[in-house]
Amino acid sequence: MKTGIWTSDWLTGLVITLLLLAFANSRFIGSLERNAYDYAVRSSTRTATSNIAIIAIDDQSIENIGRWPWPRDIQAKMLDRLKQGGAKVVAETVFFSEPQIDPGLQYIHQLKQVFEQSSISRIPAWMNTLNTRIKQNLQRLRHKKDPQTRLASRQIIRALKESPNSHQLAIDIKTFRKQVNSAEMALDTDKTLATSIRKAGNVILNMPFIPGMAYGKPDSEFADYITRNQIPPANIINTTATNPDGATPLTAVKALPPIPQIGQSANAIGASVNLADIDGAIRTEPLIIDYYGHYYPSIALLIAAKSLNLGVDNIKVTVGKEVQLGRLSIYTDKYSQMHSFFYQSSKNRSVFSVDSFYDVLQGKIPVEKYHNKIVLIGATALGVGETFVTPVNPTMPAIASLAHAVSSILNEDFYIEPAWGIYVRTGIVLLLALYLMFVLPRLGAATGFIISLLLLSGLLISEYLLMTRQGLWLQLMMPALLLITGHILLTTKRYLLTEKGKARLDIESAESNRMLGLALQGQGQLDMAFEKFRKLPREKSVLEIFYNLALDYERQRQYNKARSVYDYIGDINPKFRDIKARSSRAQSLEQTIILHGSNNTGGTLNLDNNGIEKPMLGRYEIERELGKGAMGAVYLGKDPKISRTVAIKTMALSQKFDADKLDDVKARFFREAKTAGRLTHPDIVTIYDAGEEQDLAYIAMEFLQGDNLSQYIKPKTLLPVEQVLTLIKRCALGLDYAHRHNVVHRDIKPANVMWDKTSDSLKITDFGIARITDSSKTKTGLVLGSPAYMSPEQIAGKKVSGQSDLFSLGVMLFQMVLGQLPFQADSMATLMYQISNKPHPNPATINPTLPPCISIIINHALAKELKNRYTCGKQMAIDINRCLKIMAVEKKHRQA
C-alpha cells in the first residue's frame, strides 16, 4: 500500500540514521562503548611483567606501626633496606608536599632560638673581649711608673683565667649546643628521609597535578629540582601532520611538588593525575602533563624509563600519536593518553607481588626478594589509600593501578585507537544506512531478521576480536545501535501500517494475555493473572474468566481482591450470575476475622458477621490481623498462660499446595521453625512455638514494636549516614551469627528488618525462606528471595551461602544512604541481567559528599565474584566500625 514519500521506508531509514548520528557522542552510546571496552579487557589474557613488586601500606602495617601518617624516618628505614636488597627502581607514591615537623623538633627549634638570643650564649665571647682589653691596657701601663696599677691589672687577668666563667662555662655552653644540635638532627625526619633517598640514588617521587585549562602564567615557577624532570622541547614533535586537531596533552593548573629538602634528593619526580571517565572508572594513563607549556612525564612513564636505565632526555613525544621511550613505542590518543591494559589475577596468585610494609620493615620478608626489581610503595589501607573503579576490579588501590600502567608500558600491552578508525566507522554507518533504506524494506521478515542478526554479530565480533587479538579499539557500538534501532523501527512500522497486521496483532495480543493469565492463575499468581485479564477486550466472553478468578481469591481468603474482581465484572454486566451477593459478602468478610471450630473442616480463617469470643489458634488467642507475610497471614496473638503477646505467622498449606507435595511442604515449614528457633541473638527475632491447627500451620514468634526499614529508603526519608551504618553493622553481626549456625536468610531487604526508634531495638525477621546449608534440599535452578536485592549467584539459581546475604545487605546500605537501588530496570529479565553482569553505580557520582569509606564498603559487599566479596558479616562490621571512626575524626576536624 503506497502512502507517499513521508511514510516511505527509505525516508524512515534516513531519519533514523540522522538521529543516531546526532546522538553519536551521547552518554548512552559512550556507555555502550565503555562496556564493550571493559568486556574485551576482561576477556583478554596477557601476562604482566614479573619485575614489579608492591609494598603495601596496609591495615596490618598501620595496626603495628601506628596511625597514619607515620614519621618519615620509617620510610627512610624502608629505603635503606631496599638499597641493601639491590632494588632497581623505588617509586614512592606517598605525598611529601609539606614538611613533617615533630612537636619535639619544634620545641627544640624554639629552645635553640631562645638560647642563642640570650645573654648566656654571649658570655664566652664577652669574657674573651674583656681579657683582651685588659691585656692591651696592661701594655700601655708598662711605660708608666705606677706599679700598683700594673699589679691590679695582672691580678684581674689571673682571676679571669681562674674563673669558671672563662673555662667551664664555655665548655658547658659548647656541650649544650652539641646536645641540642644532636636532638635536632634526630627529630628532623625530613632530613633523615632526604638522606636515605640520596643514598639510595634510585628513588622516584610522586607529584600530583590538578587538571584544568591553563590561562596566563603560573603563580610561581618550579624550582630546579622539579624542572630538571621536564621533557626537553627538542624531544617534542607537534605538527599538523601528526596532530591535525591541534590537541595538547592533558593540561594542569596546579601541582603539589615535594618539599625542596626531600625533592632535591630524589633521582626523579613523576607527575600523576587520576583521570576518570564519565562513569567514574579509570581506563587511561596520561603519559604527558602540559603545565603552562612545559611537558612533564607521568610517574608511570618515569618508572619505566628508569628501569631501562633511561632518563627524560630519552623520552620523545609525538603529540597526538605516540610517546617513544628508547626503542619502545607507546601509542596514545590525541591527548597523549595511553589506554592501559589491566591484567586479571589467576586463581593461584595475584597479578603482582604484594607484601605488607610492616613485614618487609621487620625482616619477615628478605629484601633480596626485590633485587633488580621495580618496587612501588603505596597505601592500600581503608581510609588511607584511594581506590579506583577499573575494568577488572571495582575497588582497585591506586598503587595497583600504577603497577598495571607500568607493566602496560614495558610490555607494550596497551590499546590503540587507530587513526583510520573514524573512516571505517563512517563507511560502516553509510553502508548500514543504505541497507536500512533500500535493502531491509524489500526483504521478508525472517530473511531480514537473519541478515540483520548476521550484520550485528559481525560488528560485535569484529570489535571484540580487534581488541582481544590486535589491541585495536575500533568503536562500533554506534553502528550496532543504528542497525538494531533501524531494524526494530522499520519492521514495526511496516507491520503496524497494514490493517491486517493491526488486526492480527490485536487478536494475538488478546490470546496471549488470556493464555498467560490462565497460566498464572493456575500457578496461584492471582494478582498477575488479574493484570493480564484486564488487558482483554471488555466483552461478555471474558466474564466467566473473571468470575473463576474471583472464586480463587475467595479460596485464598483475599476477600478485598475478590470484591474488586466482582466490581470489575459489574462494570461490564451488573446482572451476571450472583456477583452482587458475592460482592456484598466479600465486603463484610473484610471486616471481622474468626476461626471456626469443627464446622470448618478446612481449618481456614473465616469471617462471621455475628460477634463471638476471640478465636484460638493452638493455645493462642487471636486478637487481630497484622498483615500478609511471605508464607501467609500474620496475626497478633496472646499466650493466656503467661500473658505474653506474640506474632503468629500462618499458612493454609492444603490450599496452597497439591496433595502430592503437601507432606514435603509441611516438613519444610516446620524445618524452618526449627532452624530459626535455634537462633538466639539480640538482633534476630525469637521463635517461641510452632504447630498445626486443622489446615493451618503456624509459628509463634516475638512481637516487635516499631516499623521496618522500608520507611527510610526514599530520598526524603533517609536516616543520618552514621545511623544507617550503625543499623547495617548490627544486621551484619546478626547475619554473621546465623551463618555460623549454618542458617542463610536468602531474603534480606528493608521490609525484613524491624527497628524501634524509642528503644533502638533492631530485629532481622522472616527467615521464611532460610535453609540449613548442610542439610538443604534446594537444587540448582530454584531462586528464592526479592529480585532487587538478590545476589548474582542467587539470580543464577545456584546454591547460595552467607555471602549472598551480605550482597543483599550491601544493596540495603546503598539504598539507605543514597535513596535508590543500585540496580533498576523496567523488566524482571533486564534487572536480573544487570545484577549478574553490570557494575553498580559509583556511589560518589550519586552523592559526591558521601564519605569514601562508605563507597569502599558498598563496593566490597556488591562484588560480583565471591572471592572479592566479604566472606562473613563480622568483616563487614569491622569495616563499618573503621568507617565510623574515620567519619568521627573528620567531623571533629571540621568542627575544630
Encode pLDDT of 292-310 as tens digits.
999 999 999 999 999 999 9
Cis peptide before 418 (omega within 30 of 0): no
> What's the CA dihedral at 488, 490, 493, 495 to 10 degrees?
-80
Q: What is the pLDDT of residue 138?
A: 58
Distance of alpha carbon 80 from alpha carbon 363, whole angstroms: 12
Q: What is the pLDDT of residue 216?
A: 86
Grid cell digits, residue 854 = 562508605
- The answer to whether the pTM exceeds 0.85 is no
Burial (CB count within 10 angstroms: exposed 0-12, middle 13-18, buried 19+), residue 28:
exposed
The answer to whether 415 touches 339, Cβ cutoff 8 Å, is yes
CB count in 10 Å sphere of residue 660: 7
Q: What is the pLDDT of residue 777?
A: 37
Distance of alpha carbon 854 from alpha carbon 303, whole angstroms: 33
The answer to whether 674 touches 741, Cβ cutoff 8 Å, is no
> 10-residue block means of pLDDT along the chain (896 residues)?
59 82 81 89 90 95 91 92 96 89 60 65 66 64 59 65 60 65 66 93 95 88 94 92 86 93 95 86 93 95 96 94 93 92 80 94 95 96 87 91 95 90 90 88 87 93 90 90 87 66 66 85 83 85 86 71 88 87 76 39 40 60 75 82 87 68 77 80 90 77 90 94 96 95 90 92 76 36 65 90 95 96 90 92 92 94 94 95 92 81
Q: What is the pLDDT of residue 301?
A: 96
Grid cell digits, residue 400 = 595497583
Any catalytic annotation for residue 747? Answer: yes
Catalytic residue among 38, 552, 747, 766: 747
Q: What is the pLDDT of residue 108?
A: 60
DSSP letter (8 states) at residue 416: B
Long-range CB pairs of 165-170, under 8 A, 24+ apart, other chains included: 165/123, 165/127, 166/124, 166/127, 166/128, 166/131, 169/123, 169/124, 170/123, 170/124, 170/127
The answer to whether 495 touches 501, Cβ cutoff 8 Å, is yes
Q: What is the pLDDT of residue 265?
A: 95
Q: What is the pLDDT of residue 384?
A: 85
